Amino acid sequence: MASVNLVYFAWVRERIGKGEETLELPGTVVTAGDLLAHLKTLGEEYEAALEHQNVIRVAINQEHVDHDEPIAGAREIALFPPMTGG
Amino acid sequence: MASVNLVYFAWVRERIGKGEETLELPGTVVTAGDLLAHLKTLGEEYEAALEHQNVIRVAINQEHVDHDEPIAGAREIALFPPMTGG
Amino acid sequence: MTGVPVTVRVQRQDFDLAAEVQALSTGRHDIGAVVTFSGLCRDEAGSLSALELEHYPGMAEAEITRICKEAVTRFGLQAVCAIHRHGKILPGENIVLVVTASPHRQAAFDGANFIMDFLKTSAPFWKKEHAVDGKERGWVSAKDEDDSARDRWSNTKD
Amino acid sequence: MTGVPVTVRVQRQDFDLAAEVQALSTGRHDIGAVVTFSGLCRDEAGSLSALELEHYPGMAEAEITRICKEAVTRFGLQAVCAIHRHGKILPGENIVLVVTASPHRQAAFDGANFIMDFLKTSAPFWKKEHAVDGKERGWVSAKDEDDSARDRWSNTKD
């Protein structure tokens, strides 16, 4: 089990109901995509937030990554919707 | 003979040696190009100014025109080099 | 590119356009062109009371800095400034400022345009709309046209 | 396009970027993007004492106004301001300012870019260089690349 800090933004944050948490992840969670799939098993709030899994953006240590990126060594993983700044 | 106000700018003005003048034009001067050819017969300062006739820009009543534009009815005709503002 | 000033700020308060342009160009004789882009909160219908801008502190600054440095290299910019506001922003107020300086005009235009396209699609900011009737209108959806605007930069050489 | 404010000035004195942007956007909630272009007197070599800008009074204002109105129609701008200085201008000083406002960013960028390209090639201004040793360096030559920059606007649909 590895421990990781997760942070959520915008409607991902609202649907999950919290802005951050620290979770222990099973060894089967290798990539960012695995993480999303794992989170969806944790309750319906996660299911609602991550329902359209392919639109969820992932950042590891504050840099954008694809869903197939390994998360090993991540201090902070952020999940959020497509950006709408500017 | 028609009378017309001529104005000159930048190196056209410097080479002709004046910024403006009023000239009587013979009836054979129909287009802006005819005017340039006519002016070149008026002295070597005009010849020097209008030597490369095709680069000289012409404006009639403060609007750019091509050299084949008739000048009939012009109140003010301006001759100048390619613009270098901005 | 060493030594090219890149100023990035994410802040609650408004920015001062003239002060940022001054800071970037005063005392320099090598700058020929300065382009600024200001993005404002728009409300043509009169139905919006405010935008609320959420951001990812730390990553927002880092990502905008990455974009600006990429623009410096790509377009040969001499200086860049990018400021993005967060929190509640009223109609008519500023949201974002980008300033670019270069010897020639096209690089300054392209640099600011490039930064805005990537800032829209990559910088971690999210807009929520609040209606004048007090109701939340919810989160603004990302636009496909913003992705297209970003992608055009992969199809050109300069 | 009726009622779109088009401000054009040809003047000796410097301009105030912030004041012009304010004048054009204050109190409006329909503007989403404001782009400014400032052209400065550049002297990387340190050999220029000043530029001297001659212009054709009357036609200069008329031609810039024609260019700005064309940009309003072509890009759907909401407001435009263009100011061109004349007389002696020192290195580091402003020469020209263009400000465009539009609902969306690309129109504001394109409008300002278009106005600058045509202003360079069509507005009756001529630059003469004065060297630091007191000698005239003569009239600046028109550049082919400025004609090319202008001509690209005939090859696109928007």
| B73 Rama sector, left if φ>0, alpha if ψ -120 to 50, beta otherwise | left
Residue A7 maps to a domain: yes
Structure tokens that stand for D64 in this block: 């810039």
Pick the range with the lowest mean pLDDT from B59-73, C97-111, D52-66, D125-139.
D125-139
Mean pLDDT for D14-19 is 97
Q: Is C16 part of the contact surface with chain D (CB cutoff 8 Å)? A: yes
Judge whether residue D157 has pLDDT over 60: no
> How many angstroms separate the CA of residue D133 from the nearest CA in chain C?
18
Straight-line distance from the first to the last Cα atom of chain C, in angstroms, rounded to the nearest whole number: 17
pLDDT at residue number D131: 93
Structure tokens that stand for D129 in this block: 């260089």
Question: What is the pTM (predicted TM-score) of this model?
Answer: 0.95
Residue A64 maps to a domain: yes
pLDDT at residue number D156: 59
Burial D15-43 (b: 16+ CB within 10 A, else e): bebbebbeebbeeebbbbbbbbbbbbbbb
* C26 touches C86 (CB < 8 A): no
Residue B52 maps to a domain: yes
Residue A85 maps to a domain: no
In which domain, by residue range, is B9 found? 2-80
CA angle C2, C6, C12 (to 5 degrees): 160
Half-sphere exposure of D40 (CA within 13 A, CB side): 27
Measured between alpha carbons, how far is C91 from D25 in angstroms, rounded to an integer? 12
Write out chain A residues lying below 8 Å of C127, CB-based. 84-85
DSSP assignment of D83-110 equals EEE-EEE-TTSEEEEEEEEESSHHHHHH
Measured between alpha carbons, how far is B32 from A60 in angstroms, rounded to an integer? 69
B19: nearest CA partner in chain D: D56
pLDDT at residue number B1: 61
Write out chain C residues lying below 8 Å of D31, CB-based. 40, 42, 92
Judge whether residue C158 has pLDDT over 60: no
* D39 touches D127 (CB < 8 A): no
Q: Is C94 part of the contact surface with chain D (CB cutoff 8 Å)? A: no
> How many angstroms separate the CA of residue C29 from the nearest CA in chain A?
31
pLDDT at residue number A1: 62
Residue B86 maps to a domain: no
Measured between alpha carbons, how far is B37 from B14 in angstroms, rounded to an integer? 19
Residue A86 maps to a domain: no
Which member of D28, D30, D33 has the closest CB to residue C39?
D33
pLDDT at residue number C136: 74
pLDDT at residue number C73: 97
Interface test with D, best of C26, C28, C42 (most D CBs within 10 A): C42
Q: What is the pLDDT of residues B33-61, one digit of tens each?
A: 999 999 999 999 999 999 999 999 999 99
The DSSP element (H or E) to which C127 belongs, if any, is strand C125-131
Mean pLDDT for D136-142 is 90
Write the single-letter amino acid at C25: S
Answer whether C touches D (≥3 Cβ pairs < 8 Å).
yes
> What CATH number is attached to the domain comprising A8?
3.10.20.30
Residue B85 maps to a domain: no
Chain D neighbours, 3+ Cβ pairs < 8 A: B, C
pLDDT at residue number C135: 76
Judge whether residue C1 has pLDDT over 90: no
Straight-line distance from the first to the last Cα atom of chain A, in angstroms, rounded to the nearest whole number: 39
Give the rounded distance of the alpha carbon of C128 from its chain centre.
Answer: 18
Judge whether residue D1 has pLDDT over 60: no
The DSSP element (H or E) to which C33 belongs, if any, is strand C33-40
Domain count for chain A, please give it: 1
Mean pLDDT for D105-119 is 98
> How many angstroms separate the CA of residue D127 from the nearest CA in chain B?
6
Instruction: Write down the ipTM of this complex.
Output: 0.94
Strand, coil or helix: D24 = helix
Measured between alpha carbons, how far is B28 from B38 in angstroms, rounded to an integer? 9
pLDDT at residue number C26: 92
